[in-house]
Amino acid sequence: MLVAALIAAPVAGAAGVLTFIEGRTPSTAQTVHYELGATQSWIRIEGGADPSRVQAVDAPFMTWIERDDNGSATNPELPPPTDLSVAQLPAGTEAIPLTEGYERLTTRTGIAGFPVIYGNAWDPRLTGRFEMSSGRVPQASDEAMASPELLQRLGRAVGDDIELPDRGVSVRVVGTLRAMDGGTYRMPLFLPARAMPAEQEAPPSRPDTIWFLPDWQPDPAELADLNHAGYVAYARDLVLDPPSGAETSATMMRGQTDSAWVTLMLVSLGLVFGGLLVGLLGAAAMAVSARRQQRSLAVLATVGARRRDVFRTVLMQGALLGLAGGLIGTVIGIGGVAVLNAMTDPGVKNTFWSTWGLKVPWSVAGVVVFAVLVGLAASVIPARSATRGDALAALRGARRPVSMSLRRPVVGILVGMIGAGSVVAGGVLFGVLAATDAWNQGLQTTALWASIIGVLLLLLSVTLSGQGVLALLAGMLARFGSAARLASRDAVANSPRTVPAFVSIAASTAVAVFVLCAIAIPQAQSARSWAWAAPKGAVIVSSWGEASPSQAPAFLSDAHPDRIIPVSSSVDPVIDTEDASEPPSEVAYTSMWAKETGGWIDVPGQPVTIVEPDDVETLTGLVLSDAEQREFAEGAAIASFLQRPVPQGFAEYIDDDDKARLAFWDAKDLYTGESPEPVRTEALSVQVHVGTSTAYPLILSPAAAEEYDVKTHVSSWVALFDDPPSDAMMDRLRADAETASTGGAVFDVRVENGPDSSLPWLALVLGILSIIVVAAATISLGLARIERREDDATLAAVGATTALRRRVAAWQAIIIAGVGCVIGVLLGLAGAWALTQAISGSRLSDAPVLWLLGIAIGLPTVIALVSLLIRPPHPDLTHRTAIA
């Protein structure tokens, strides 16, 4: 049973992944129901009339119009329609309009903004796009429905009132309604169309309206007319059965991104590593199976069975074990997905955990067939060994001493050198293409497969050299006591079982490490390139207006932050352009540098930022030496770049000699819309820091601002807290900011969240890896315990204690899981290095080191501790190993 379980473990993973993906992929009928409910079509405004406009019938927002060589529209740009009056719909066509909007609502502690849908979203014909949960539909303009999540966020229930402070009105919630598009609509409020603000009914907002048509849908000719008039439409019959020649998302993507090639590449990669994992574990299982029944096979031989009969017997057993493992693994994988769906499905669509039901793809049957083939292939070598053994020795239960092959490690080293060269070649080719900004799909594909094949060759090298690696390890572990010596020598003696076991762990670990790095490295690069206005989790209060204060507002101080950092900028003074007697006032901007021409651009660039020297490091994340900090405090400036030279298309404010230019403009001329020359300019040296990006192109110290006579005012305050602010705190701060926005001062509150965190994905990948590694190690160690019964009995017979036998089992776990995890981490890092060469600006040092250490050291340690706690079986002293 353990043999079948060893094959079932990776099959369960493959079947589970295929079922998980299939369950996240809607059928065409499901997509249509999700988009239309029971209506026949919907129409939206896309733009001005254009006779060349074409849309994809299944993806209306994928459109195409004729453009010239410069990318400009060939046909004249016309204003978009504002309603359906020019859509030329049949007379009497009923439409259900829904308009998307935004309203600020009063929460338990303050104010926050939420999406609002105006119109009869609760119409029964829209069931599928919207689902009613409880209550009744609104009957008056002051009644509303809300999603359950919104009510929870606001601290309200059905029957309570929700205040809309911007309009000074309240609406009563009479029921709960959920928008099934959970990715687009988070916590929406549903209001009747007549509750829409008057300004939102104006033409500029009408493109946010979608009209559902219960009884009409366009044919291909009518769809073309709608496109030409400035509309796009989603029609039931055109999506379910696209007519010949119609544009679809697949045809419109052709020539832009070869998505089929990308999909084929990913599927092929998954099949290669999945097949390798199943094959290795299957080989280990069959090696143990053949060895366990060597006495039965010897009996067959002694009663007249021919060699080919024994060979066929072992092959048939391999096929049956593969079939059993495939079926068991498939059931476990599908059942696991069913349980996962029940636990995580949010009840809406278009989110990561959303499911379209438990859908088992036909490819799962292919996985079962593949398991049978793997069982057959894995049994070939054990079958050949069974036909070559000494029948009398097998009947006695004797085993030959292990023999070491000198040829296989040498071949393994040569294969490893070829694999390493292939990875390096692929990475270098990736690097050259990235450095030259050259996109060549053929070369990209070559570099990709060179890297993949290189990693596979390295894995093959480990397989060929596995017994030698274990032998070297046995020599090193001999000094760690009897348990380590016995376990390591047992691993060498049973290399047909142990090598496939740790190589399979290495294969799964390598894939997981590569995925972890593929998530973490771009995430770290994204964090570096993010225009940080403050540390992550900090609250930023911005201020503008004639009476903007110079001190932090009281409502921010009352929140008791650990520290408040004032950020000043050059002043944009309020100028009376009609008063000629008012003296001119200067405003300072940082000039933009034109690298192509080698000169400064005489237009206002970015306002100058002024920060106290003691606050620079905290605000920006830059690390300044003592000398740099003194220089800055005495009147210097600081600039930071993610990389230099600055990529093409990005604004640059520092010249090639690390100098910046301050340009001072007459504020009155700027306010009148003229483009004069700057009144004066000042050049200054800049401390340039590369590797971190901030929202501030140039930071001056107060001393520098005074030296160059830069007029400044405090434009924002950055508040630092021990913990990120909660929704309740932000709601309260926004409400307080609105209350304080009087007397010519206006405040705005936001929190610096930075880019999305990759932690959930890292945890998911590590969780899947842990399950695979623990399953493979557990089954491998279980097989080892079964196979070592005679050896264990021999140890007990010569006086080995239970504690010693436990330590032997623990060392076996360390050897199998530890070697596999360490090798897998190294192989995964080799692939990650090639990835860093392909992505400009990425670094291998951004790999999640602590996560990788947890894989290489933590997982084997946990498995070893569990093995140490398991009591060895009672030894059967009548079955001891005999050495031939």
Identity of the amino acid at 379? S
Domain count, the chain: 3
Q: What is the DSSP letter of 346?
A: -
At 884 the pLDDT is 44
830, 832, 706, 850: which is closest to 766 by C-alpha?
850
Same structural domain for residues 554 and 520? no
Same structural domain for residues 521 and 457? yes
101, 88, 128: which is closest to 224 by C-alpha?
88
- Which residues span the domain enclosing 562? 539-751
Low-confidence ranges of the chain (pLDDT < 70): 1-3, 6, 183, 198-207, 253-305, 381-405, 437-441, 546-548, 572-584, 644-650, 671-675, 743, 761, 765, 769, 773, 776-777, 779-781, 783-791, 873-884
In a domain, 817, yes or no: yes
In a domain, 784, yes or no: yes
3-state secondary structure 413-429: HHHHHHHHHHHHHHHHH
**Ramachandran angles phi, psi of 838, nearest 5°:** -80, -25
Same structural domain for residues 513 and 559? no
In a domain, 315, yes or no: no
In a domain, 336, yes or no: no
Asked whether 564 and 556 are in contact (CB, 8 A), the reply is yes
Same structural domain for residues 712 and 591? yes
At 601 the pLDDT is 80
At 260 the pLDDT is 46
Give the span between the Cα atoms of 771 and 333, in whole angstroms: 12
Give the span between the Cα atoms of 564 and 720, in whole angstroms: 6
Query: 878 in helix, strand or coil?
Result: coil
498-518 burial, b at 16+ Cβ within 10 Å, e below that, comes to bbbbbbbbbbbbbbbbbbbbb
In a domain, 737, yes or no: yes
Same structural domain for residues 692 and 824? no
Q: Is 107 exposed, middle or buried (0-12, 13-18, 19+ CB in 10 A)?
A: buried
Same structural domain for residues 617 and 469? no
Give the span between the Cα atoms of 3 and 371, in whole angstroms: 13
Same structural domain for residues 728 and 761? no
Query: Strand (E) positions, 551-696?
Result: 563-570, 586-594, 599-607, 609-610, 637-641, 659-666, 680-690
In a domain, 390, yes or no: no
Asked whether 160 and 172 are in contact (CB, 8 A), the reply is yes
The domain boundary residue, chosen from 705, 725, 751:
751
Give the span between the Cα atoms of 196 and 119, in whole angstroms: 9
At 876 the pLDDT is 62
* pLDDT tens per residue, range 209-251: 999 999 999 999 999 999 999 999 999 999 999 998 888 887 8
In a domain, 335, yes or no: no
Give the span between the Cα atoms of 834 and 839, in whole angstroms: 9
At 212 the pLDDT is 96
Same structural domain for residues 521 and 607? no
Asked whether 662 and 590 are in contact (CB, 8 A), the reply is yes
At 470 the pLDDT is 85
> In 293-388, which residue ranges form alpha helices assigned H by DSSP?
294-302, 307-344, 363-378, 380-388
Asked whether 870 and 528 are in contact (CB, 8 A), the reply is no
At 843 the pLDDT is 82
pTM of the model: 0.71
Same structural domain for residues 746 and 809? no
At 238 the pLDDT is 94
The domain boundary residue, chosen from 725, 751, 777:
751
Same structural domain for residues 706 and 587? yes
Give the span between the Cα atoms of 665 and 799, in whole angstroms: 94
Question: The tokens of 601 are what?
Answer: 């651009």
Query: Strand (E) positions, 373-492?
Result: 398-399
Give the list of residues 6+ apart from residue 58 with CB closer than 8 angstroms, or none. Answer: 28, 31, 239, 242, 248, 249
Same structural domain for residues 125 and 190? yes
Same structural domain for residues 461 and 438? yes
The domain boundary residue, chosen from 165, 187, 206:
206
In a domain, 670, yes or no: yes
Q: How far is CA 196 from CA 101, 117, 158, 734, in A?
A: 9, 9, 21, 24
Q: How far is CA 664 from CA 387, 403, 673, 701, 829, in A?
A: 93, 84, 16, 18, 52
* pLDDT tens per residue, range 648-667: 656 778 888 888 888 888 77
